[in-house]
Amino acid sequence: MRKTKAMQALVLNNGIWSCTTSAEMPRPGPGESLVQVRYAGLCGTDLELSSGYYGFSGIPGHEFVGRVLEGPRQGTRVVADINVGCGDCFRCTSGQHRHCQQRTVIGIKGRAGAFAQYLSVPDQNLLMVPDQLSDELAVYAEPVAAALEVIEQVAEARPTEVLVIGAGRLGMITGQVLASFGVKVQMLIRNPLRAQHIQNPDIEIVSSADKDAYPWVIDCSGSKDGLVAALDATQAQGLLVLKSTVVNAGEVDLSPIMVKELNVLGSRCGPMARALNWLEAGAMEPPKAVVFPLGEVGGALNAATDPNYFKVLFNPDLEI
Ligand SMILES: [Zn+2]
Ligand SMILES: [Zn+2]
């Protein structure tokens, strides 16, 4: 039996981050496991949450790897499919729980996340991490799955060339995933400090994009400027994939969609099991990450916008 009733966690409330050592221990419900967090990644969505996205308050964190402390898979290393469906609706019963209208999402919507020592996760959402795959790579399963989703969505009509816009983590992972499928990838990265993180010979870094030049553009920028650049760069009748959350697009001229007859495709979460396989196959070197204890949230938030780092991770075991 665990003696501790409290744990350390990061809490987000009205856009204010704080670290507490007296967060209530998660109490797994029926069909749920208690997971001890090893690494949790800070991503653009978490930064969006702090500006009010989904009205979230509580413990964020949806990219994580951990170990099951209590549950059927006790002792195994796991990652999780973050979307928790109701289990009853037509979406859930047809294998599309990601689109269940009643869903909760770990660390994003109605459910505590992984910026904590522990979290509870429905057993059916857990995936075992293969022995050969390190925690340092497995923590990227969620964004890799999101990148793989693009490949699945356009399986039949996949263009052979793509422009990826946005040099954040998701953009860089998406570029690497697409390159591994033989797609000729150009990445629009204006900041050379960001470009240093791409060491993949199959990816060409460009600092500007020609107008109406690309049959396929994926916007991973999360920004209005990135969306504008994507609308501009996609060629007539091309495919524009919106991969990141642009909450405040403001006034963007959408007329290129009509004038150029663009196909616009939204793309969110993807197949976690395939992401683990992709990572296990060694298609991505462990990126340059900086690891913080939960108590140094301020430093972590600063590092998240520092182009010298590819990724900011929390490790709840680290002492301040
Ligand atoms: Zn994320
Ligand atoms: Zn449902």
Residues of the chain within CATH 3.40.50.720 domain(s) are 143-266
- Name residues whose C-beta falls within 8 Å of residue 128's C-beta, 6 or more positions apart in sequence: 73, 76, 77, 78
**Among the CATH numbers 3.90.180.10, 3.40.30.10, 3.30.1360.30, 2.40.110.10, which is that of 6-140+287-314?**
3.90.180.10
Q: Which of 72-76, 197-201, 206-210 has the lowest mean pLDDT?
A: 197-201
The span from the CA of 226 to the CA of 73, in Å, is 42
- Name residues whose C-beta falls within 8 Å of residue 251's C-beta, 6 or more positions apart in sequence: none
- Ligand sitting nearest the alpha carbon of 89: 2
Compute the average pLDDT of residues 280-309: 91
What is the residue whose two structure tokens read 């929390």? Answer: 314
Tokens of 318: 């680290």
In this prediction, residue 4 carries a pLDDT of 60
- Residue 316 per-residue DSSP state: T
In this prediction, residue 165 carries a pLDDT of 95
Ligand 2 centre from 313 Cα, in Å?
31
Coil/strand/helix, residue 219: strand
Ligand 1 centre from 106 Cα, in Å?
11
Is it the case that residue 211 has pLDDT exceeding 70? yes
Partners of 127 in the beta sheet?
A: 79
Is it the case that residue 218 has pLDDT exceeding 90? yes
Q: How far is CA 187 from CA 161, 228, 229, in A?
A: 11, 16, 12
Ligand 2 centre from 277 Cα, in Å?
27
**Residue 9 in contact with residue 19, Cβ under 8 Å?**
yes
The H-assigned helical ranges of 33-89 are: 44-50
Tokens of 146: 């999101």
Q: Which helix (H) or strand (E) holds 179?
A: helix 169-180
Q: How far is CA 278 from CA 84, 208, 250, in A?
A: 23, 30, 36
Q: Which of 119, 106, 114, 35 is nearest to 74 (CA)?
A: 35
Ligand 1 centre from 63 Cα, in Å?
6
Q: What percent of the chain has pLDDT over 70?
A: 98
Ligand 1 centre from 59 Cα, in Å?
14
**Residue 175 in contact with residue 200, Cβ under 8 Å?**
yes
Ligand 1 centre from 205 Cα, in Å?
23
- Name residues whose C-beta falls within 8 Å of residue 32's C-beta, 6 or more positions apart in sequence: 71, 120, 121, 122, 123
Q: How far is CA 210 from the centre of its chain?
A: 28
pLDDT, tens digit, for every residue of 246-259?
A: 767 778 999 999 99
Residue with the larger pLDDT of the pair 169 and 275 = 275
Longest dimension (CA), the chain: 64
pTM, full prediction: 0.91
Domain spanning 143-266, CATH class = alpha beta
Count of alpha carbons within 13 angstroms of residue 28, beta-carbon side: 18
Is it the case that residue 122 has pLDDT exceeding 80? yes
Is it the case that residue 130 has pLDDT exceeding 90? yes
